[in-house]
Amino acid sequence: MSSESSDSSASSESSASTGSSRTGRSSHRQSKKRRYVTWGIAGVAVVAGAGLAAQTSMAATAWPAQKTYTGRAFDTCAAPSLSAMKAWHGGLYGAAAVYIGGKNRGCAQPNLTASWVKSVSAVGWKLIPLYVGAQPSCQTGSSPEKLTASTAASLGAKDGADAVAKASALGMKAGSPIYLDMESYDITNKACNDAVLTYVRAFDKTLRGKIYRAGFYGFTSSSAKAIANATDKTDLPGNLWYALWDKQNTTTADWPFGKTQYTDHSRGHQYLVNSKESRGGYTITVDRDAWDGPVAITG
């Protein structure tokens, strides 16, 4: 995608696809306390949410215009201080992905408050809300909240409602996206994969019922692949943030799924992890992202 944002008639809620190579990343959340803050330095545009009618559950609702950011971004486990955000603004990045909640969130968030969101937005940062929901039982590693076939639907609905409540409390308004973080798991395990898809559908349906856009973070070799390749697209996310650590700042050149999937300002790409960077006297270890998709509506 280009380094400038543009208006589009299509909605980020109208297609499905994602991917990434993700061996050993499930431990990244726990052992390295996954860093998810996304920043980028390019234009931001409000894009009309046309194409929403393609989603049966959304067709009758008047949605707020999508706020789109295109450019470089980064994510980090804990939201940096306001001073650090001010010092980093105007450099390489212009948007930040923040972990708004979830029982599997790896870091405490002492800085992440409604006041912080308002202040960093006033500075010029765009924010990408990330929610670490329940993880599959077939996933390697331990997670406080696991999903199973019998609990997937109810957990998805409960976590979706919690994600909206957390976003709203931070001042992220209706029409904002919430990206569900699903770590790597064995997608060849059909029972497990089916349970994940059930969970994701329930989560997304709940988001959309409360007028929040559905996004998904996952790996091109596993969790993102499961979403992109699902035959039944009903209630799957309309925005895909794929982890593929190839050091390419792009959302198009290395896109591993169907060319018509997630084409209209609906993609994010985590392309580099564990990058220790210093700006304005503040050093933060971040993961780098290329971004061309919706960000939180905070104004």
- What is the chain's mean pLDDT, rounded? 86
Question: Which whole number is the average pLDDT over 131-146?
Answer: 94
How confident is the model at residue 59, as a pLDDT? 54
How confident is the model at residue 19, as a pLDDT? 36
Whether the per-residue pLDDT at 100 is higher than 80: the answer is yes
Q: Chain centroid to CA 149: how far? A: 24
Whether the per-residue pLDDT at 198 is higher than 70: the answer is yes
How confident is the model at residue 41, as a pLDDT? 36
For β-strands 239-243 and 44-47, DSSP reports them as unpaired
User: Is the Cβ–Cβ distance between 206 and 214 less than 8 Å?
Assistant: no
What is the value of pTM for the model shown?
A: 0.84
pLDDT tens digits, 240-264: 999 999 999 999 999 999 999 999 9
User: Is the Cβ–Cβ distance between 191 and 148 less than 8 Å?
Assistant: no
Question: Which whole number is the average pLDDT over 100-114?
Answer: 97
How confident is the model at residue 140, as a pLDDT? 85
Residues pairing with 147 in the sheet: 136
How confident is the model at residue 137, as a pLDDT? 95
How confident is the model at residue 225, as a pLDDT? 99
Q: What share of the chain is helix, strand, coil (3-state, %, to 5)?
A: 25, 25, 50
Question: Which whole number is the average pLDDT over 4-19?
Answer: 36
pLDDT tens digits, 16-30: 333 333 333 433 344
pLDDT tens digits, 168-190: 999 999 999 999 999 999 999 99
Query: 251 Cβ partners below 8 Å, 6+ apart?
Result: 1, 267, 268, 269, 290, 291, 292
The SS3 of residue 94 is coil
26-294 CATH pick, 1.10.3720.10, 1.10.10.60, 3.20.20.80, 3.30.1490.20: 3.20.20.80
Can you spell out the DSSP letters for 209-267? HTT-EEEEEEEBTTHHHHHHH-S--TT--SEEEEE--S----SSTT--S-TTTT-SS-E
The SS3 of residue 76 is coil
Whether the per-residue pLDDT at 58 is higher than 70: the answer is no
The SS3 of residue 95 is strand
